[in-house]
Amino acid sequence: MKLILEKLIRLTKNDPNYKVDNLIPFRSVLVIVIGRFFSLLIGTIYQILRLKIPITLFMASSARISHSHMLTLTGTTTIGASVKIDCLSIDGVKLGHNVSIPSGTFIRCTGVVSDVGVGLSIGNNTGLGHYNFINAQGGVVIGSDVIVGPYVSFLAENHRFDDSEMLIRQQGVSRKGIVIEDNVWIGANVTILDGVEIGEGTVIGAGSVVTKSIPKNSVAIGSPCKVVKSR
């Protein structure tokens, strides 16, 4: 059974070197296989119903996707329990091969229909964290081979508040977008604000609030987040 699971994972991930830990007991392997089978079945039915060519989509029954005609899947994708994705935007939501969106993640590309947002793009072999919040009104681009911890927020929009005589909610918003380059690790409970670019190969420490761009191959931490060393 472990060999079957290992071969299936290697096939779906396109990773011939992937190995299942020998310490996992047979019963647990069986639970994993059954769970993945049913999520694959749900994902395949979902793709057929939206008149798309079926790809390898593992999708929990409690996941919800709005405006799915604006969702583009290019390879194996995993969408976990209670995930919510609202794809309404100019560019829609584009997911590369072997993208994982685990339980509780909320992706929103448009806040109000009076001002449609830009959208979200995620590269290959990227895994989001549990309970991530991606506010992609101003556009969020996440590269390939990116690791994101749990409870991370991407906030690609800011409210204007310059006029003290006017309600903040009536002053509109500014949008610059967020870019996360390839091979980045973002720790748990990080908040990334609009206009930030995080360079390739960078590590962002847990709990950081990233207000300014971080150069490539950096290790950065804090609130506000600052570079502490280079890799």
Mean pLDDT value across residues 108-126: 94
Contacts (Cβ under 8 Å, ≥6 apart) of 158: 173, 174, 175, 193, 194
Cis upstream peptide for 102 (omega within 30°): no
**What pLDDT score was predicted for residue 129?**
97
Mean pLDDT value across residues 15-43: 87
- Ordered domains of the chain (ranges, CATH): 1-55 (no CATH), 60-230 (2.160.10.10)
Percent of the chain with pLDDT over 90: 77
pLDDT tens digit string along 139-178? 999 999 999 999 999 999 999 999 999 999 999 999 999 9
Residue 121: alpha-carbon gap to chain centroid: 9
159 is catalytic: yes
**What pLDDT score was predicted for residue 26?**
85
Name which of 23-37, 159-173, 206-220 the model is least confident about.
Answer: 23-37
Q: Does residue 194 carry a pLDDT above 80?
A: yes
What region does 119 belong to: left with phi over 0, alpha with psi -120 to 50, or beta? left
Q: What is the pTM of this model?
A: 0.91
- Choosing from 67, 69, 97, 159, which is the catalytic residue? 159
Residue 31: alpha-carbon gap to chain centroid: 26
Q: Which residue has the tokens 């001002």?
A: 115
